[in-house]
Amino acid sequence: MTVLSLELLKYTILWQGFVQLWFCFMHIFFFFAEHKVIIVGLDNAGKTTILYQFLTKEAVQTTPTIGSNVEEIAVRKTRFLVWDIGGQESLRASWSSYYCNTEIVILVVDSTDRERLTLTKEELHRMLAHEELQNASVLVLANKQDIKNSMSAAEISQCLTLSSITTHSWHVQACCALTGEGLLQSLDWMRSRVLAS
Ligand SMILES: Nc1nc2c(ncn2[C@@H]2O[C@H](COP(=O)(O)OP(=O)(O)OP(=O)(O)O)[C@@H](O)[C@H]2O)c(=O)[nH]1
Ligand SMILES: [Mg+2]
């Protein structure tokens, strides 16, 4: 064997070792990576019910959230750290303290609450202007679809002027937190967003 081919063999082995290390590192990184999600929306929208429906696949009894709840939710090896933040008026000013590193914002809307939809729209557009949410995707959940005469996802989308949003990736989904209808599709969309970015 010539000196040249020995050198070549040495560098090939070194390169293979490097590639293996790189794959090992990437595997560890993706295994432990956790994606931050915040659930916001006006009080009584169904945020906490949705969080625990995600987690337990059951409807739990809730009381108004003072502060926040946090749970880890895994969807086919993709792990989300989900913060459910209280929506009462006095708590809304504190939403921004949860924005840092958020990848997905879930905005929950009570689809029967026509009177406060303008207020929800204002809160949504204020959030989108916040610099810490510039890279976040937005999932709007049109909740309480089980109630007669609730607004459809399309109506809510129109009232919130979602089609005018060009700075953020967004999606609207009709759901019912009591039965879990629409929530699996929501988790799939969240997963596809974080895997795409
Ligand atoms: N009919 C119906 N009721 C729902 C649905 N989702 C939530 N609720 C009810 O709405 C009420 C408020 O739900 P929560 O999950 O506590 O609301 P929240 O958005 O967390 O409210 P805050 O913590 O005050 O911000 C509860 O009585 C829930 O059972 C739904 O899809 N359908
Ligand atoms: Mg709550």
Q: State residue 11's pLDDT score.
A: 84
Alpha carbon distance, N-terminus to C-terminus of the chain: 48
Contact 150, 144 (CB under 8 A): yes
| pTM for the model | 0.88
- Going by C-beta distance under 8 Å and a sequence separation of 6 or more, which residues neighbour residue 68? 83, 84, 85, 86, 98
- The ligand 1 atom nearest the CA atom of 51: 15
- Catalytic residue set: 88
* pLDDT at residue 22 greater than cutoff 80: no
Task: Calculate how far, in angstroms, residue 16's C-alpha sits from the geometric centre of ligand 1.
Answer: 55
Q: Give me the mean pLDDT over the 143-170 stretch.
A: 97
Distance CA 59, CA 181 (A): 11
* pLDDT at residue 78 greater than cutoff 70: yes
* pLDDT at residue 30 greater than cutoff 70: no
Task: Calculate how far, in angstroms, residue 42's C-alpha sits from the geometric centre of ligand 1.
Answer: 10
Closest by CA to 83, choosing from 106, 113, 117, 111, is 106
Distance CA 89, CA 78 (A): 33
Determine if ligand 1 sits within 6 Å of the CB of residue 60. no
Contact 59, 49 (CB under 8 A): yes
Average pLDDT over the chain reads: 93
Determine if ligand 1 sits within 6 Å of the CB of residue 178. yes
Question: How does residue 189 score in pLDDT terms, banded at 50, 70 and 90?
Answer: very high
Cα angle, residue 65 at apex, residues 190 and 160 outer, rounded to 5°: 50
The percentage of residues in the chain with a pLDDT greater than 90, rounded to a whole number, is 82
Q: Give me the mean pLDDT over the 68-79 stretch.
A: 95
- 34-196 CATH, one of 3.40.50.720, 3.40.50.300, 2.60.40.10, 3.30.565.10: 3.40.50.300
* pLDDT at residue 121 greater than cutoff 80: yes
Contact 49, 177 (CB under 8 A): yes
Q: Give me the mean pLDDT over the 90-95 stretch.
A: 96
Provide the annotated binding site for Mg(2+): 48, 65
- The ligand 1 atom nearest the CA atom of 108: 19
Domain ranges of the chain: 1-32, 34-196
- Going by C-beta distance under 8 Å and a sequence separation of 6 or more, which residues neighbour residue 94? 85
Determine if ligand 1 sits within 6 Å of the CB of residue 44. yes
Contact 159, 113 (CB under 8 A): no
Determine if ligand 1 sits within 6 Å of the CB of residue 182. no
